[in-house]
Amino acid sequence: MKIAIVHDYFTQMGGAERVAEELYRLLPQSSLFATVALPNCMPAQLKSVSIRTSWMQNMPKIDKCYRLYFLLYPLAVNSIDVSGHDLVISSSSSYAKGVRTDYNSVHVCYCHTPMRWVWSYDGYSKRESFGRLQRTLLPVLIRGLRLWDEGASRQPDHFVANSKVVAERILRAYGRRAEVIHPPIDTSRFEPSQERADYYVVLSRLVSYKRIDLAVQACTELSRKLLVIGDGPDRSRLEVLAGPSIKFLGRAPDKDVEFHLARCRALIFPGEEDFGMVPLEAGAAGRPTIAFRAGGAVETVVENATGVFFDEQTPEHLGEAIERFERMEWNSAAIRRHAETFGVDIFQERFRSFLRRIGMPVDQEGTRNRRSMASGVFEQERAS
């Protein structure tokens, strides 16, 4: 059986890229495609893999300007040739689900979220530093992209969502039902430590919607030490907000991330994420999370057992949660056991089981001409 994995783009390192990496590890006989693949943004296991990219790979300054080319990605995805593949798996938070497949192919979309900036533009744009021209033109362009996205949502035969909240978004946006399979957490990377240091940790790309500003402001006001691990376009604004107790480490090697997570008081997770793998990575290191009660965090953080929640995205509410957290006792071993229920082996077995149920047994010799089976499921799904 010929299998293709199509990822949106490898232009940054995040949870979606780790899922694409794990899909390839699960199906190493696959061909791997992406619109763009920047060498310094590849997951470790994919650095030596041959990735077939689109013509966008050669666009001027693609490494720095990949966001500015957002209107070209639908054309780039349409140009990706996956003909001759029996099974196509798109790893998509934006464009890859629109890839065109053969009539006989079965297309499964592992959806990290419907396009955030298309379906939640008002909330997304409030925290972006757009100029007047951008604020005038972008809503018009976004409407066109939304129409394309609605059409692209009909390409997959099956949707898999990374969380219940994303499955609900898929149903609202596309009218499609999705199987929920949580992303894989490589718990073997992390090991709890007997050492405990007096600092909190944020581990994230520094973009405005992640709401790292809340952690910076709350820890500044409480004079709590905070290590901010990660980089991104919001860093300069965050540094202006930060007091002397905040330290920015930028992008850090895995070994440094593992060291700091295992010794911190807790991870602070202040944004609304589609799933959010980092609280479980902190959990694998035996450390609890202080999280905003929304999105995927409500599926991964067990209140008062693996972390605490705050209910409003303000520095004051986060500060209250920090102080409440500090009055509690935490069991590192129990936190670690909870994280292990989201491990790589569990993801692989659930994904294999899903593929078997739709008639694509990847652990056996596959067969062609399964499109009729998939189409029947698709039509039933659309009608329900």
Same domain membership, residue 242 and residue 159: no
Same domain membership, residue 205 and residue 222: yes
How do the pLDDT tens digits run along the chain, 384 residues long? 999 999 999 998 888 999 999 999 999 999 999 999 999 889 888 989 999 999 999 999 999 899 889 899 999 999 999 999 999 999 999 999 999 999 999 999 999 999 977 776 555 555 555 556 555 667 677 888 999 999 999 999 999 999 999 999 999 999 999 999 999 999 999 999 999 999 999 999 999 989 999 999 999 999 999 999 999 999 999 999 999 999 999 999 999 999 999 999 999 999 998 888 999 999 999 999 999 999 999 999 999 999 999 999 999 999 999 999 999 999 999 999 999 999 999 999 999 999 999 999 876 443 333 343 344 443 334 333
pLDDT number for residue 116: 79
State which of 324, 340, 356 marks the end of a domain: 340
> For the chain, what is the domain count?
2
Burial 20-34 (b: 16+ CB within 10 A, else e): bbbbbebbeebbbbb
Same domain membership, residue 223 and residue 334: yes
- The reply to whether 10 falls in a domain is yes
Full residue range of the structural domain in which residue 64 is found: 3-114+153-184+344-383
pTM above 0.85, yes or no: no
How many secondary structure helices (H) and strands (E) does the chain include?
16, 13
Q: How far is CA 115 from CA 32, 42, 149, 274, in A?
A: 22, 22, 8, 11
Residues 222 and 281: their CA atoms lie apart, in Å, by 26
Same domain membership, residue 289 and residue 264: yes
The tokens of 177 are what?
């039902």
The closest alpha carbon to 305, from 277, 325, 331, belongs to: 331
Same domain membership, residue 16 and residue 160: yes
Same domain membership, residue 159 and residue 301: no
Residue 97 neighbours by CB under 8 Å, 6+ apart: 90, 109, 111, 152, 153, 155, 156
Residue 221 is part of a domain; what is its CATH number? 3.40.50.2000
SS3 of residue 130 by DSSP: coil
Same domain membership, residue 267 and residue 165: no
Residue 371 is part of a domain; what is its CATH number? 3.40.50
What ranges make up the beta strands (E) of 64-163?
Answer: 87-92, 106-111, 158-161
pLDDT number for residue 276: 85
Same domain membership, residue 197 and residue 166: no
- The reply to whether 141 falls in a domain is no
- The reply to whether 128 falls in a domain is no
- The reply to whether 148 falls in a domain is no
3-state helix, strand, coil in the chain (%, to 5): 45, 15, 40
Residues 296 and 162: their CA atoms lie apart, in Å, by 9
Same domain membership, residue 376 and residue 334: no
Residue 376 neighbours by CB under 8 Å, 6+ apart: none
SS3 of residue 346 by DSSP: helix
The closest alpha carbon to 276, from 79, 15, 11, 27, belongs to: 15
In angstroms, what is the C-alpha Rg of the chain?
21
